[in-house]
């Protein structure tokens, strides 16, 4: 076993352990964990089997097989960042709606109080 292979396996393995542990503790929602798990598993499979890595690398015309690992890791990171951007957009829209709802409710309360005060005065 060469050093690179060991490093790759240890890297992917510990990454996967951290991901699973975060899910178990409820600190990572499954929805966001799926991409990470998927990325970890694919990279682990390629690290374990040098033959598979070399085969796929030659298929797509990559001469130095480990760079396929880098390419995959890079693509996954891009995908995950894009996913985050879309999640953040959705969250900020919801955040805005919450702020607006809160302001509308506050004003409704003020107006409601004003009306019941008026009734009070009318009774007296």
Partner 1 sequence: MKILIIIPAYNEEASLPGVIQDLKEHIPAADVLVVNDGSIDDTAQIARKINVKVLDLPFNLGIGGAVQSGFLYAERNGYDIAVQFDGDGQHLAGEINKLIEPIVTKQADLVVGSRFLAIGRYRAPIFRKMGIAIFSFILSRILGITVTDSTSGFRAANRRVIEFFAHTYPDDYPEVEALVLLHKVGLRMTEVPVTMRERTGGRSSITPTRSAYYMTKVLMAIFIDLMKKVR
Rounded Cα distance, 7 and 23, in Å: 24
Q: Is 104 in the site for partner 1 (CB under 8 A)?
A: yes
Q: Is 106 in the site for partner 1 (CB under 8 A)?
A: yes
Q: Is 82 in the site for partner 1 (CB under 8 A)?
A: no
> What is the 3-state composition of the chain as percent helix, strand, coil, each rounded to the nearest 5?
90, 0, 10
> What's the maximum distance between 2 C-alpha atoms anywhere in the chain?
93
Q: Is 107 in the site for partner 1 (CB under 8 A)?
A: yes
How many residues touch partner 1 under the rule CB under 8 A: the total is 10
* Interface positions, 18-77, toward partner 1 (CB under 8 A): none
Q: Which residues bind partner 1 (CB under 8 A)?
A: 96, 99-100, 102-104, 106-107, 110-111
């Amino acid at each position: 076993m060469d050093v690179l292979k060991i490093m790759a396996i240890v890297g992917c393995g510990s990454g996967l352990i951290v991901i699973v542990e975060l899910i178990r503790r409820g600190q990572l929602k499954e929805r966001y964990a799926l991409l990470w798990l998927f990325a970890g598993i694919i990279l682990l499979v390629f690290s374990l089997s040098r033959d598979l890595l070399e085969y796929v690398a030659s298929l797509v015309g990559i001469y130095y097989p480990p760079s396929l690992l880098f390419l995959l890791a890079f693509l996954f990171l891009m995908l995950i960042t894009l996913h985050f951007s879309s999640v953040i957009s959705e969250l900020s829209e919801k955040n805005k709606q919450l702020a607006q709802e809160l302001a509308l409710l506050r004003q409704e309360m003020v107006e409601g109080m004003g009306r019941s005060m008026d009734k009070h005065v009318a009774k007296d």
